[in-house]
Amino acid sequence: MLIPIADCITLIAGHNGIGKSTILGLISNTSGLTHQTPAPRSYFERLFQANLSEIIFIDYDNEFLSAKEDESIPRPIVTYLIEGQKFQKRCGLTDRSNTSARIVPRNFSPSKDFISSKSGIKIGSASKVPLPTIYLGLTRILPIGEAEEKTVFNELIKTIHDDDKALIVDFINGVVAGLGAKTDKVTSNRIRGTSKFSSHPTYTYDPKCVSVGQDSLGSIAAALASFQMLKREWADYPGGLLVIDELDSGLHPHAIRRLADKLQAAATKLDLQIIATTHSPALIESIYANSNGKATKTRVTYLMDTAAPYALEAPGLLDIIGDMELLPPGMSGTSKAPNLRIYLEDDEAKQIFDLLITGPIKRSLGKNHGVSIKAFSLGIGCDSLANLSSVDPRFQESLFVLDADADIKPKHLKHGNIVKLPGADKKSPERTLFAFIKALVEQRDNHPGTWGKLKSINVTSDQIQMHLLDWQGDVSKRTEAKKWWRDRVKYLNSWGIFKLWMAENPNAVDAFRTDFEKAVKATSKRVRRLAKLGITS
């Protein structure tokens, strides 16, 4: 089983007992800083490392001895890319005593000591990869209120930097709205005899009174502040690895979605790879949507079949949610995606839209966001289209694509379901194409690539003058521009004129596709929410 790790956030999901926490432990165990590293400790007052023995329990008799007798001891491999060089650690299960076993990460490829060619990073045969690592397990959500009072400690963190205070406050306020946390001071919650540690800024109440979810955020915030401190104070900071079990624990779905955004921003800023497990559909939807089908920044890995685990290959969002509910695959209607309707002003706008957002793009976006994208032209003006979401809330589950010359009122933008087609100088599609065609003839030398393509299909300037520009109307008038288009649409389509415009204006095309995808992301959440209630369109 191969589990790729994304640049920023990797989310691992699957049924209980499938091995998610074990995977986190194996990854965490292979990296970290040692006592010999001239780097400060984290705000947890620990080295930036994790040890498997503190994360999972290995059953000596059933997992080690029986596997040893059967010669079936698993030896998972963790692969790193160090300054462009591939390096692998193999996690070997060995005897620690006659009653216990341990997992030692040993060099696998190369099997001898590894030394990077660029800066001479050395990793011994049984040494950890010197990547600063913090593991956050479920001790972070041990309820303070259920612990014996004499074991609970809330202490002022005296040495914390102002920048790190600010990070903690911004992170916690950014996830749970309305807390009103302040940077006056930061204290820590601990329970004696456990590894529990969370940091909390000033609230209007005692930090020992926080909820389980808020306490979890305090631990995550302390980890992020620790990496920020390390990046600031250690000249050789290479980035870091933050591993979190059950990331969503104790949090409301709305807070979970905000958490996903805050973590992605923090990962980018602090050069972190964050790997976490979850059972939350809201978190899966958020991280999956952020991946945009390009699993470099974020990725969701879904593990199937507790008896013989494997990673679901190229999963769609509905595939994941369906298995979480154990819906029978292949049954009619079991995982049918709800429709996300795209409304455009007229047929001309829809033709342009279908060239910009092609079938494969629609299917890819639909898969990423758990919807089926359907486009329709309504034959009504842009003002009426833009106003529909305000007139009828059901239209907030639809997306509106307006011409570039549309004047949209700010109140219509609040739902995030309106985008504009690209157009030269905010012109309508018809006026944009007319101006482009005219420029092809009048400024021929500025369009060598376009003329090369036209020449390949025997379209000349004479053909263009005769069939596209021989016209006495006023293209600045909307009705006349529409008539110009409709009278010449067979030539525009046959010669691929708008595709030629797209080729010359890639930035405008990319900007539209980005805006459209943001609108799909925002609108599809509402569509899926209604679909769960049995309301579809």
Domain positions in the chain are 64-126, 145-209, 343-422+508-532, 426-504
In the prediction, which pLDDT does 65 show? 44
Sequence-ordered list of residues with C-beta below 8 angstroms from that of 125, at least 6 positions apart, any chain: 106, 107, 111, 112, 113
pLDDT digits (tens, 9 = 90+) for 445-474: 999 999 999 999 999 999 999 999 988 888
Q: Is 329 left (phi over 0), alpha (psi -120 to 50) or beta?
A: beta
pLDDT tier at 288, thresholds 50, 70, 90: confident
Considering the chain, what percentage of its residues have pLDDT values greater than 70?
Answer: 91
Q: What is the mean pLDDT of residues 286-308?
A: 81
Give the Cα separation of 495 and 469 in Å (integer): 14
pLDDT digits (tens, 9 = 90+) for 136-173: 999 888 888 888 888 988 889 988 999 999 999 999 99
Going by C-alpha positions, the residue among 491, 498, 482 that lies closest to residue 347 is 482
Cβ-contact 218, 210 below 8 angstroms? yes
Cβ-contact 133, 50 below 8 angstroms? yes
In single-letter form, the type of residue at position 171 comes to F
In the prediction, which pLDDT does 54 show? 72
pLDDT tier at 93, thresholds 50, 70, 90: low
Sequence-ordered list of residues with C-beta below 8 angstroms from that of 529, at least 6 positions apart, any chain: none
In the prediction, which pLDDT does 515 show? 95
Going by C-alpha positions, the residue among 524, 527, 511 that lies closest to residue 365 is 524
pLDDT tier at 58, thresholds 50, 70, 90: low
